[in-house]
Amino acid sequence: MTLSPAVQKSLHETLQTMLGIASPTYQEQAFMAWLRERCSRSLPDWQQIEHGDCLILQAPWREGQPHIALIGHSDVVPAHFEPRLEAGRLHGAGASDMKGALAAFLVWLEQEGATLSKHLNLSLLVYSREEQTPLHENGLYHLLQATPDYFKSLDLGIIGEPTDNTLQLGCVGSIHARLRVAGKACHSARPWNGENALYKALPIIQAAAATQPVRHTVFGVDFFDVLQITESQSEPGRTSLPGWWQANLNFRFAPVRSLEAAQAELLSQLQGWGLQADQISIIDAVAAGSVIETPLFRQAMQALNLPVVAKQAWTDVAQLTQHGIAAFNFGPGLTSQAHTVDEHILLADLDAYYGHLQRLMRGLA
């Protein structure tokens, strides 16, 4: 659909305003204060539910109507810089991940919410501390515990993570394990007096390097189990043999097994490489996001009629599906731009996303 000049202007200006407010993880208060004030003016009849730095905005409730939430996080990864427009690209920290989606959600609700909330129970959920934080600090994690009745009423969650305007289903789980190999430090001129921990670790590094992705097809899309060493350290000293080596191993696993089963599988594989249980520590772990197929979920896919792929990353779809809520990832942001220092979004993609959102909601109403 072609946006009216007024809607397009509001959409672009709203995103530019959002990008002008710094919101790095743990420092999202100013952005959320702006959002609450904007919603108070533009959607005065909608209920605001606040919990810490998180906000739920809910239309007046209508019994018997499906409840659909537009969901996004307020924090961004790149260091803040002033937004700028260049050749159809709007640059700003979080432009693709994921203030572009937040701007589209907000403007769409302001323009269409009053009409479509007669047929759908609509809400906007914006939560804090999503980027690169432990699960127990994640804003959605806290909301799930603090507002259980809200989530029990939820039939479908649309998470505006960057997906290049495709539908991305589910998400992979993630386990971070610390591996440690002990040696014996000594002077590098007399290596016979010690044991080089790095050399002892080479078979483990080689085993990790030889591990190939494993494909799993779920709901017609392909997820991959992948295992990679992402950090490596050894005892420092230019003239010493390292007395220890340690690494972070990241296991991303498809939504075909539970978190407990994935951990057991990983430990078994690592022990097969010669590591003992006391050399392995699970640092943090999150479950994969399954695909919960409901009539409303299928209806949404049909209404959008867009390419469907797997989410080969972790998103908060996992937290929703763990609570039995159907959800998918769908946003205008470019996946290639997420977390980049000069992040941008294509305004043409933002406009197209608004049209997709309009078609989706009209198809569900």
Q: Are residues 218 and 355 in the same domain?
A: no
For residue 130, what pLDDT is reported? 85
For residue 131, what pLDDT is reported? 80
Q: Are residues 44 and 104 in the same domain?
A: yes
Q: How far apart are CA 163 and CA 335, in angstroms?
A: 6
For residue 277, what pLDDT is reported? 95
Q: Are residues 281 and 302 in the same domain?
A: no
Q: Are residues 186 and 132 in the same domain?
A: no
For residue 280, what pLDDT is reported? 98
Q: Are residues 41 and 156 in the same domain?
A: yes
- Bridge pairing between strands 308-310 and 214-218: unpaired
What φ, ψ does residue 204 adopt, rounded to 5°?
-70, -45
For residue 139, what pLDDT is reported? 82
Q: Are residues 45 and 130 in the same domain?
A: yes
Q: Are residues 15 and 130 in the same domain?
A: yes
Q: How far apart are CA 89 and CA 141, in angstroms?
A: 33
What does 99-159 look like in DSSP terms, one character per residue?
Answer: IHHHHHHHHHHHHHHHHHTTTSEEEEEEES--TT--GGG-HHHHHHHH-HHHHHT--EEEE
Q: Are residues 54 and 125 in the same domain?
A: yes
- Consecutive 10-residue runs of the chain (365 residues): their mean pLDDT? 91 98 95 97 95 95 96 94 96 96 98 92 95 83 94 97 96 97 98 98 98 96 97 96 98 97 98 96 95 96 95 93 96 94 97 97 92
For the chain, the residue count is 365
For residue 99, what pLDDT is reported? 97
Domain boundaries, position 184: 173-286
For residue 132, what pLDDT is reported? 74
Task: Report the domain count for the chain.
Answer: 2
Each residue of 271-295: b (16+ CB within 10 Å) or e?
Answer: eeeebeeebbeeeebbbbbbbbeee
For residue 2, what pLDDT is reported? 83
What does 1-26 look like in DSSP terms, one character per residue?
Answer: -PPPHHHHHHHHHHHHHHHTS--BTT
Q: How far apart are CA 102 and CA 125, in angstroms?
A: 10
Return all residues near 81 (Cβ < 8 A) that are at least 6 apart: 91, 92, 93, 342
The rounded radius of gyration (Å) of the Cα atoms in the chain is: 23
Q: Tell me, what amino acid is at 56?
A: I
Q: Which residue, of 267, 286, 305, is where some domain finishes?
A: 286
Alpha helices, DSSP H only, in the chain?
Answer: 5-19, 29-42, 100-116, 139-146, 148-152, 197-210, 259-272, 295-304, 317-322, 347-364
Q: Are residues 295 and 275 in the same domain?
A: no
Q: Are residues 151 and 227 in the same domain?
A: no
- CATH number of the domain to which 198 belongs: 3.30.70.360
- Bridge pairing between strands 344-346 and 89-91: antiparallel
For residue 150, what pLDDT is reported? 96
